[in-house]
Structure 1
Amino acid sequence: MPSVTRQRRGVAERRAAVERQVLEAVERLLAGGESFTSLGIQRIAEEAGMARTTFYGHFRDKPTLLMRVTDNATQDLFADANAWVRDDASTREQLEQTVFDLIRGYREHQPLLRAVQEVAAYEPEVEAFWRATVEGFAEGVRRRLERDVKAGRVPEDLDTRTTAFWVAWGAERTVAEHVATRPPREDRRAAAGIAAASWAAMRRD
């Protein structure tokens, strides 16, 4: 008989495969010009190649779907940024590359992230989800700045909480607006500007 561990692993792999199918389906539909609000469950299930009942076996409703697929899509998006925050020796040049990678990730998932902003305007659960995502990064920045203060790398009077909030939300909003309004050829320049502004706000110079 298969072990319980193997069975659980199989269930987890099947769940991950279904969620990946749905993520890809939703991003295709959004990239094709559909708004998330107008998308029905049946349309999403058909695009993902599954029955409606299978969909509901994994997602309670559309907001749950949006949060789950966005969380999956953005894990890598924020991974490099969080790595920069955790490394006390990380440099301004590394920050610029991190922001550039963030911009590229936003471009890759732009329709999905635009849908999050759309739904967050009227769905408190989605708004709270995205706020928690960005503020989780802000908290990492705050802890980094607290360490910098103790190590004498930044002035003692730096307001670490407000600065971290500004860096996290300022970068997120600026990247989103840049991707929505500017061509990819300007990404490197935008990354340099965002990194410079963030570095200055953290009073690292």
Structure 2
Amino acid sequence: MPSITRRRTANVGRPTSAETDILAATQRLLVNGANFTELGVQQVCTEAGVARSTFYSHFRDKIDLLVRLATELMTSSFDVTSAWKPSEGVERLADAFLQVVKVYREHAAVRRALTEVATYDATVRDFWSQELNQFTDWTIAVLRAEQDAGRTPADLDPVSATRLVVMGGERALVDHVTAGDPHADGAFARELALTWWYGVYRRPAHHGERSPS
């Protein structure tokens, strides 16, 4: 997937110590309630213990910084979800979604900043759209493979079904980690998995999977 940041960051590959410090400092400030729009580069540098010149040697601007932070969120979420295979069943899917909930909780402040900045910055909007499209494309491909194997009905529209569960599921995730009880994470992940398994993959309950209790 091509980069849509305003320029590629100065160092590609494993982050340097300074990059790591800047990313961690920004996340700390956001977790502590900072508004990303009002957050200054100097404030980030002070928190990270680096010079402004160091910041600009690694990031073009604050938007580049936010995209880097958000990439960690989406990469972790996609890696967890795409590791699941339909042959593993609904319970394993629930486990995968629980891991995704944990990732979203860890990066809740970054996700909040994305919502904030996307209202006025096209780069962030395009970045987020492309990240969700990656997950959408993967889900469509899996659904079509399941149809070809005869495990998902041929009359399912993979594109429409995927849009419903990816877009709706991501919004539900954000709402849950924002307002939901962390003790309900397991129940939320299970309900999300059941929605995918019986609603999208169209698995009947008698195919060896444990029926919802």
TM-score of the superposition, structure 1-length normalised? 0.89
Match of 2:143 in 1: 145
Aligned-residue offset at 1:163: 1.0
Give the match's secondary structure for 1:35. coil
Instruction: Name stretches of at least 5 consecutive residues in structure 1 with no aligned partner.
Output: 1-10
Aligned residues: 193
Measured in 1, the distance between the counterparts of 2:61 and 2:137 equals 30
Match of 1:125 in 2: 123
Q: Deviations over 1:82-108 (max 9, x none)?
A: 111xx3413111111111111111111
Aligned-residue offset at 1:49: 1.1
Match of 1:82 in 2: 82
TM-score of the superposition, structure 2-length normalised? 0.85
Closer, same or farther in 2 for the Cα pair 1:128/1:12, shift >3 Å?
closer
Match of 1:4 in 2: none
Comparing both structures, which one devotes a greater share of its residues to helix? 1
Match of 2:57 in 1: 57
Q: Could you say what the CA RMSD is over the residues aligned between the two structures, in angstroms?
A: 1.6
Match of 2:161 in 1: 163
Measured in 1, the distance between the counterparts of 2:147 and 2:159 equals 12
Paired residue type of 1:94: R
Measured in 2, the distance between the counterparts of 1:148 and 1:101 equals 24
- Work out whether residues 73 and 104 of structure 2, in 8 Å CA contact, stay in contact via their aligned partners in 1: no
- Work out whether residues 15 and 58 of structure 1, in 8 Å CA contact, stay in contact via their aligned partners in 2: no
- Work out whether residues 21 and 48 of structure 1, in 8 Å CA contact, stay in contact via their aligned partners in 2: yes
Measured in 1, the distance between the counterparts of 2:161 and 2:13 equals 41
Q: Deviations over 1:100-128 (max 9, x none)?
A: 11111111111111111111111111011
Q: Deviations over 1:47-82 (max 9, x none)?
A: 111110110111111111100122134322321101
